[in-house]
Amino acid sequence: MNSPVRRTVIVGGGVIGLLSALEIARAGHLVTVVDPQPALGATFAAAGMIAPSAEASVEHPEMAERAMASRRAWPELLASLKPFSETSLDLFEVGTVFTAFDSSDRREIQQYLDIARSQGHVFSSDIPAGDDLLRELLSPRITTSDFASADAFVDPDGVVHAIMKALAFLNVEIRRQRVVATSHDDQGVSVVCESGEVVAGDRGIVATGYDGSPLPLTSRSSHVVRPIRGITVRLFDPESSVGPMVRGIVRGRWVYIVRRPGGSILIGASSDESEDRVVEVGALRRLLEDAATMMPSLEWARFEEVRVGLRPATPDHSPFFNVLVSQRWAWSSGHFRHGFLMAPNAARDAVAFVES
């Protein structure tokens, strides 16, 4: 370690706060995470796709490289978490097949893929050889186009569970409290919890997803973060097996299907401007209908669960790690649809900040 041992307070225990806490603790620092309900924000609803091909942005072409760098960090991260997991905690390197329903959907997919390609994403022109099963599963009305081999998925619940166990092993304290205010002085930082309890440290990181309210208004003026509600649906089909993910557009709406081990199938995701964590019947119906249009056999899958989360979105959908003027606080947010993919990047920035 190149820096003195620092006491770090992390406000927010979603995937960003938890993985940042882990890497800071692994670097030899003392960490306290404060969150009334760790891992139950947007993190709870995530599909667990580690999919840089879905991260192409006209405004931010550099995001492609950042996304690919974060993707490359995942095998080592999972290997380091394996001792803390009862399951195998695999990275399923299955890739993504892009699909479209009608001619307008095809045009939109092609436009997206052109942008992604221009930013360095690599696609091959067909479904990988040997996956005849996927061809059989997709409706004959669906056209497949490009295949992104770098995309993968994890079990997001398994990853979060292992991170929490690793945090306990490293004596990272998790205080189940809601933070109502943050402050700093020459000595360090402190947070005030709803109960009146105060937690102090040398450095602080706010990783509260879409809700930056623990920070003073002046500190929040640098970025606008708003909630975009999304749902994922978990299904079960004993006949289903792991295979390439499918991401496509059906009648103008994006939809994806992740076939996981043990017959589990995850479909996602709706996208609405809303701060209400509710599942609307219309959103659920559209998502199921679009997924079954792509893969008709889903009509016979068993419904298991629907989860809802509020994604932290910036106007240009770009995540940020913003060191605030006090130099003692940082704000890590805006990970929108890719908080799992981008968490290793956010954690690396967090360690650099604590050691600065």
Applying CB under 6 A, the residues found at the interface with ligand FAD are 11-17, 34-38, 40-43, 45-49, 178-179, 207-209, 211, 214, 230-232, 268-269, 309, 311-312, 333, 335-341
Between residues 15 and 142, which has the closer beta carbon with respect to ligand FAD?
15
Rounded least distance, CB 115 to ligand FAD, Å: 19
- Smallest distance from the beta carbon of 2 to ligand FAD, in angstroms? 27
Nearer to ligand FAD, 48 or 95 (CB): 48
Judged by CB, which is closer to ligand FAD: 250, or 350?
350
Q: Bridge partners of 320?
A: 333
The nearest distance, CB 209 to ligand FAD, in angstroms, is 3
For residue 36, the minimal CB distance to ligand FAD (Å) is 6
Closest CB to ligand FAD among residues 29, 338: 338
Using the minimum distance from each CB to ligand FAD, give the nearer residue, 28 or 290.
Answer: 290
Which CB sits closer to ligand FAD, 106 or 244? 244
Whole-number minimum distance, CB 159 to ligand FAD, in Å?
11
CB of 1 to ligand FAD, least distance (A): 25
Taking the complex as a whole, how short is the minimal distance between the CB of residue 83 and ligand FAD, in angstroms?
A: 23
Closer to ligand FAD by CB, 25 or 143: give it: 25
Residue nearest to ligand FAD (CB): 14
